[in-house]
Structure formats: C-alpha cells, structure tokens
Amino acid sequence: SFQLAIVGVILAICPWDSYFKMASAVEMPQTKIVCYFTSWAFYRVEEGKFLPENVDPSLCTHINYAFAFLDSTSLKIVASDPWADLDNQFYKKVNDLKLLNPKLKVLLSLGGWTESGSDKYSRLCASASARKAFVTDSLAFLKRYGFDGLDIDWEYPNCWQGNCGSNPKDKANFVLLLQELNAAFKQQKPALLLTIAMSANVNVMKQAYDVPNIFKHLDFANLMAYDYAGSWSTKTGHHSPLQKAYGETDPTASVEYSVNALLALGAPANKVVLGVPFYGRSFTLSDPAQNGVGAPVKGAGTAGPITKEPGSLSYYEICKSLKTGGWTTMMDPSAGPYAFSGDQWVGFDGPRSLAKKAKFVKAHGLAGIMAWELSMDDFRGLCGSKYPLLTAINTELKSSDATSGR
C-alpha cells in the first residue's frame, strides 16, 4: 500500500533504530505525578506514622516537601519544623529518594493554609529589595539541602486564607516575585524548577492571579481542585467532584468547571497539573434518613482515629471503615464515591474515580496530576495492596497514549 511504501522510503533513508529515536524525540514531555510529602505525618500514631522511607519514589515524578515557612521579620525561608526537617534529616532523606529514582525531582514547598493568614507574603512581593534578598537566600537554601526547585503555596495573593480584597496589589506583585525567582533559577546549572499551588475557586482565581503572566515564569502550577465542600458547608457535597454531582445546585462546584475557567483565563494546558485529594471530607447529618448529596448537615463529621481532624478522613481510614462494614457506599458516576453510616457521611476519591480524573487529564492535554498527600493514601496496604490511589493514577496516566487521543 501507499503507506507501507512511505515507511519503506523512511526506512531506506534511516534504519529502524534511528527511526524510533526520531519518533521518541517528538513524544509529549513526561506526564507529571506530583506528590506532596508532609513532615507532620511523622507525629501520627501507629499505622498513620509516615516517614521518608514510606515513600515509594517509583510512583512520583516530583515530590513537594511541605512545608517551609517565611520568616515574618527577615522575609526569608526557614524550616517549619527543625526537629523533623533537620535533626531527623527529613530534608536529606526525601532528597535521597533520588538515589532510588534518578529521574525524580524534589521541590521545597513554601507556605500552606495556616501560613497564609498574615501579610508577610504580601510584604515580600511588594518590596523590590525584599524580593531581591529572598531570591538570593532561596537559591542558597535550596542548594544547601539539595532541592531541585521551589513550590510556592501562598493561599492566596489578595485573598489571604480566602478573604479576597486583602491587598489588590498582590496580584501584580506576585508576578514580579515569580519573574525574578525564575530568572535566577533558570541561570543555575542544572536549572531549578519553579511551581505554585493555585486555588480552584474561580472567584479567588480571578482576584488572586494574573494568569497569562504568572504562567510565563512557572514550569507548571498545581491546581488544588478539592475542598469544594467541607465542614463550612450547610449540606453534604462531594469535595472534589470531576463533574457536578447529582443533587448539587452550585454549577461552579466541579473540577471540570475550575479547569475550564483557568484555561479560559489564559493558562496553557501543558503547564496545568490537576490536584486530587487522598482524603475525604466528612459531615454529621441532621437526619440520618436524608443521606444523598445536598442533605442537610449539623457540621463536621467525627474525627478519624489516626488523623484526628473533624470533617476530614484519610483514604486509609475510609477504606478500613468500609471493610469493617456498616457503611453504605454510593457511586455518583459524574462526581465520585460517597459513603454513609448512621449520621456520618463522607465524600472521597477512590481508585476508580482517580483513574477517571487521569483520563480527563489526558483528554484535555493537561500536564499531569498532583496528589495531596502521600500519607493519606493506604501507604501500608491496610485494605489491600500499598498505595492504591497513587497506583491507580500511575496506571492510567502511563497507559497507552494512543487510547487517549494523543
């Protein structure tokens, strides 16, 4: 046939091995699987205790070490927990995972929710001299501990802990910080990576980020596409629904809506990493007989035995409860699974709903998936095999791209 003749011509010009080299040279860049490591999981009891050696480095392309803090006076990076980070050598041990997976990149993540309530990030971004000192100091800090880059998790410019209007100048000033950091990072040999964690709330997105301009200075951004519902809600809701859940009245409450909004604001798809949760959001029902999405709630669900945070349960706490029995699990095909028992209700992501999100990532040409966070997966295999959530993501993202329209 004509096609075979063409292949024959190509092969005559260049033999098989270089033909394949040519083909692989135009492959898509590696799909990212960004895993957050949280130093505080070290303090959990028994089966929840999580150490650097509990990480499976073959299942991540990037690990973000959460969190470092910004010193309020010097406006420079400091270790948030010197006992874990330095004395117990977690910085070193997490970076040493690169010995097991040489392609792995480890970034230091600066910030977090509790760290974002004050004006310090705003002050840093507003001052040219503070930014300059921060860039120089950050380079030294990352080099000292062997990190491959910096992830900034300021929640959020101009919307400190979600309160928009905190300082409207943050939006433009944040671009300046990223621009100056990236210029310095890319002069290093090898170049350092610069990423951020972004809000998936469309109202926050518009007020916090100058989208086209921040992406110019980032390797990629991790979209925190979860916490669409929680203990602050008046009714049950899936906290990370891929599409709007049946019974959900808010049209903006879906991962798909957030991704489309971010792309519409000018983000390049190939720099957007979709964040997924390895935890569920739980509620206490007002009436146990009303147990669907949109059912009235009294407040947060009962805290888990290991994670001990009302309104939140790790995936391993959820899967153990479901195995023990007494829980009814429902699967909303558009949003994901939820389960209830008596007056307790939890919405979460399981292996199947995460595989669906991975398919969504491939179909939209996104950069990959970010997981918050490793210590919430069933990392010990209490309910079956180890890391069922992270494995489901890997399996789907690495499955033949021919089936994903690429």
Torsion sign over Cα 203, 209, 215, 216: positive
376 occurs within a structural domain: yes
286 occurs within a structural domain: no
Contact assessment for residue 348 and residue 337, using Cβ atoms and an 8 Å cutoff: yes
Mean pLDDT across the chain, nearest whole number?
93
- Residue-level pLDDT at 246: 85
For residue 60, how many C-alpha atoms fall within 13 Å in the half-sphere facing its CB? 27
The bridge status of strand 272-277 relative to strand 220-224 is parallel
- The DSSP string of 69-120 is EE-TTT-SEEES-HIIIIIT-HHHHHHGGGGT-TT-EEEEEEE-SGGGSSSH
* Tokens describing residue 237: 């809701």
Query: Is the pLDDT score of 18 beyond 50?
Result: no
CA nearest to 193, candidates 15, 332, 367 = 367
Over range 79-85, report the average pLDDT: 98
CA nearest to 370, candidates 348, 397, 345 = 397
10 occurs within a structural domain: no
Contact assessment for residue 361 and residue 369, using Cβ atoms and an 8 Å cutoff: yes
16 occurs within a structural domain: no
Q: Helix, strand or coil for residue 329?
A: strand
Non-local CB neighbours of 375 within 8 Å, separated by 6+ positions: 37, 38, 41, 44, 48, 50, 54, 314
Query: For residue range 345-382, what is the model confidence (pLDDT) as tens digits?
Result: 999 999 999 999 999 999 999 999 999 999 999 999 99
Contact assessment for residue 205 and residue 211, using Cβ atoms and an 8 Å cutoff: yes
- Residue-level pLDDT at 233: 96
H-type alpha helices, 198-284 = 202-208, 211-216, 255-264
96 occurs within a structural domain: yes
To the nearest whole percent, how much of the chain has pLDDT over 70?
Answer: 91
When computed from its CA atoms, the radius of gyration of the chain, rounded to whole angstroms, is: 22
196 occurs within a structural domain: yes
Count of CB atoms within 10 A of residue 360's CB? 18
9 occurs within a structural domain: no
Non-local CB neighbours of 140 within 8 Å, separated by 6+ positions: none
- Tell me how far the alpha carbon of residue 58 is from its chain's centroid: 17
Distance CA 307, CA 326 (A): 21
Cα dist from 12 to 1, 5, 7, 17, 22, whole Å = 16, 10, 8, 12, 14
Query: For residue range 300-318, what is the model confidence (pLDDT) as tens digits?
Result: 999 999 999 999 999 999 9
Has 155 been annotated as catalytic?
yes
To the nearest whole percent, how much of the chain has pLDDT over 90?
Answer: 87
- Residue-level pLDDT at 19: 39
- Residue-level pLDDT at 401: 52
- The CATH number of the domain holding residue 125 is 3.20.20.80
Domain that residue 168 falls in: 32-279+354-404
One of 46, 47, 155, 309 is an active-site residue; which one? 155
11 occurs within a structural domain: no
Non-local CB neighbours of 143 within 8 Å, separated by 6+ positions: none
Domains in the chain, number: 1
Query: For residue range 27-72, what is the model confidence (pLDDT) as tens digits?
Result: 456 899 999 999 999 999 989 999 999 999 999 999 999 999 999 9
Amino acid 313 reads L
Amino acid 351 reads P
